[in-house]
Amino acid sequence: MSKAFTKEPEGDEDDDVALPPLPAGTKNYMTPEGYQRLRAELVGLIDVERPKVVEIVHWAASNGDRSENGDYLYGKKRLREIDRRIRFLTKRLDRAEVADPTAHHGNDQIFFGATVTYANQAGVERTITIKGIDEVDNLNGEVSWISPIARALLKAREGDEVQLMTPGGLERLEVLEVRYPAPTRETDGP
């Protein structure tokens, strides 16, 4: 059968496997830095990477037989991946609600963007930063605002004790410190 008559799956494959979906009806909260990082990725894909791959596919297609042309086949596959990521980023950025954590600087209550130090019942301390679902880096102590630990901590204050349901049972956590980044001051000159 000719490849011209085969159909590629057209399902809604816009979701990246690595990122969980947003809960229904919620906003996609992001820090300004996270928003800028995703926006820069989107612009890079549209303005730089996609045109390069289109050029390679065009060149490979002009070489003749496409069925055994590795550059053509790989290029088409890469274009699908880029287009899928562009659709994903566009949807996420359209739903984005940028929340600047510097607005809470000096506050001791936990909101989006807070860096929180807490201790469990055994006295083990841990520090996490609550960020948007699309910008977390678990290896750097960042958690999504929809994660169980963030939901348990949100709206608590320094000195409060919160409860977190874990696979091992109910755990009590004491909030030791809440920090927010300081607002940046722009100077008007010397």
Nearest one of 117, 112, 110 to 28, comparing CA atoms: 112
Q: Which are the contacts of 132, defined by CB distance < 8 A and separation ≥ 6? A: 28, 29, 30, 31, 34, 96, 112, 144, 145
- Structural domains of the chain ordered from first start: 25-98 (1.10.287.180), 101-179 (3.10.50.30)
Give residue 72's pLDDT: 87
Give residue 19's pLDDT: 57
Low-confidence ranges of the chain (pLDDT < 70): 1-21, 185-190
Give residue 5's pLDDT: 46
Give residue 189's pLDDT: 43
Alpha-carbon distance of 181 to 135, in angstroms, equals 17
Answer for the pair 34, 135: CB distance below 8 angstroms, yes or no: yes
